[in-house]
Structure 1
Amino acid sequence: MSGHSKWHNIQAKKGKVDAKRGKIFTKIGKEIMVVAKMGGSNLEANPKLRDVVAKAKAANMPLDTIQRAIKKAAGELESVTYEEIVYEGYGPSGIAVIVEVLTDNKNRSASNVRHGFSKYGGNMGSNGCVSFMFQKKGEIIVEKNDSLDEDEFMMMALDGGAEDFISEDEVYVITTSPEDFGSVRENLEGNNIEFLEAEVKRIPDNYTAIDEETAVSFQKMLDMLEDDDDVQNVYHNAEFPEGFEG
């Protein structure tokens, strides 16, 4: 794994995420519905649903909101059928970008995503144009605290099946294969570990450093894409300048 500080990029958007918490809950709720419809609404029998519920809890999503999404998927409440689509392309200065969408209208989504790319100096590409630059990995982020001994915690994570363990200034970043993510997460939960983030995501093999001017333009592009109700996740390989606030 690269020694690049993943938490630096996470911190850069944390304030924005906090400000859009209601929208975040809506997006996670859609994800819960899709996973529950595919694998059933029983948490014990659907490991992917357990993973998404853990992601929801890490985002401080209320329990009744989680349960409502599961009930919708189970047919107990009126629901919408969503299609999963992945768009790929380039931001300003050739930044690799992947946009994951859950939508009930793919024409609307394609138009909105294409506009988000083009408005700020990017362009949407064909399937596969940048996805080879990313790997799907489970990532669990835990805040450092005095009660958590670093060496013991590292051994707990690695012995539980984690691929990598990185200690950063404020957090520990635990990386797993997608297949082992659920078991590693559940093992840590069983040891009363709380997460800042816990999900399977696309992690770039290498990061591209960008200057302040490019960062400003690219952040506007990210904000526009992430504000779209159909967009679930946006992944990229940009490394923002140290101290960039957006």
Structure 2
Amino acid sequence: MAGHSKWNNIKRRKGAQDAKKGKIFMKHAREIFMAAREGGGDPEMNANLRLAVDKAKSDNMPNDNIDRAIKKATGNLDGVNYEEFTYEGYGPNGVAVMVTVLTDNKNRTAAEVRHAFNKNDGNLGENGCVAFMFNRKGYIAIDRSQTDLDEEEFLLEVIEAGGEELETSEEQYEVYTEPEDFTSVQSELENNGHAIITAEVTMVPTTYSQLDEEGVGKMLKLIDALEDNDDVQEVHHNLDADEEVLEKLS
């Protein structure tokens, strides 16, 4: 899974932009709505809802907004029927892309996603065309400066908590888990006093596509176009970009 840090840096870059645009709360609200509708409105009894709420809170979504989304879902609000779909395709130079959407109009969203691909040197593919290049994993990033444990000590702690793999950078420890173990591993690390930067169940690439600066610029435009769509919840990809290039293009 080497290279995930670079991929996650691109996600953080986009997350900051989405927050400035004011769209991220709406995306969180939809995710909370779906989780509550499918599994009930109690986060203690609904792991998917608990994860959605935690993600929303990490982006400073107000509690009133979170409660409103849960109440709408559990109140069987008439006229609201969101469905989740995943679209797969290729970005510039063959970068693998998976797009998760929540929509009340599949035809509209499919057309808009296809348009975003076509307009930005990509193309929408068939289901399964790139899914094999990703694994669904729990991902937890820990602020390394806030722990006294060295890498070997922390690895033992991760193993005891049920984690699957550990990667280390100067700034952080990155823990990977099986999706079903994610919540328990996160709780164990939190209980041990570690400062968690990011915690999510996501799609992690098994291989990466390296592009030059021009290619990275095109790929970032495609990501922008997709994430500007209100129905798009997540954009997963296997772009590997140097920090210097990302900084220059930000």
TM-score normalised according to structure 1 size = 0.92
Aligned to 1:221: 222
Deviation of 1:76 (Å): 8.0
CA contact (8 A) 1:72 1:78 kept: no
2:64 is the alignment partner of 1:64: yes
2:31 is the alignment partner of 1:28: no
Structure 2 counterparts to residues 196-207 of structure 1, below 5 A: 196-207=197-208
More helix per residue: 1 or 2? Answer: 2
Separation (CA, whole Å) in 2 of partners of 1:16 and 1:161: 30
Separation (CA, whole Å) in 1 of partners of 2:132 and 2:200: 20
**How has the CA–CA distance of structure 1 residues 51 and 79 changed in structure 2, closer, same or farther, with 3 Å as cutoff?**
farther
Deviation of 1:32 (Å): 0.8
Aligned to 2:2: 3
CA contact (8 A) 1:210 1:238 kept: yes
SS of 2:199's partner is strand
Separation (CA, whole Å) in 2 of partners of 1:105 and 1:76: 18
Between 1:180-189 and 1:128-137, the stretch displaced more is 180-189
Deviation of 1:79 (Å): 7.6
Aligned to 2:87: 87
CA contact (8 A) 1:165 1:173 kept: yes
Number of equivalent positions: 244
Between 1:170-179 and 1:13-22, the stretch displaced more is 13-22
Separation (CA, whole Å) in 2 of partners of 1:100 and 1:60: 22
TM-score normalised according to structure 2 size = 0.90
**1:198-220 alpha-carbon deviations (Å, 9 max, x no partner):** 11111111111111111111110
**1:120-172 alpha-carbon deviations (Å, 9 max, x no partner):** 11100110111011110011112222444234433322211110111112121
Gaps of 5+ in 2: none
Aligned to 2:110: 110
**1:78-132 alpha-carbon deviations (Å, 9 max, x no partner):** 7832100000011111111100000011111101100111111110011011101
Q: For residue 120 of structure 2, what is the amino acid of its counterpart?
A: Y
**1:173-200 alpha-carbon deviations (Å, 9 max, x no partner):** 1100011111111222323434222111
**How has the CA–CA distance of structure 1 residues 192 and 64 changed in structure 2, closer, same or farther, with 3 Å as cutoff?**
farther
Gaps of 5+ in 1: none
Aligned to 2:46: 46
2:73 is the alignment partner of 1:73: yes
**How has the CA–CA distance of structure 1 residues 7 and 125 changed in structure 2, closer, same or farther, with 3 Å as cutoff?**
same
Aligned-residue CA RMSD in angstroms?
Answer: 1.9
Structure 2 counterparts to residues 52-201 of structure 1, below 5 A: 52-75=52-75, 80-151=80-151, 152-201=153-202
Separation (CA, whole Å) in 2 of partners of 1:63 and 1:222: 29
**How has the CA–CA distance of structure 1 residues 146 and 194 changed in structure 2, closer, same or farther, with 3 Å as cutoff?**
closer
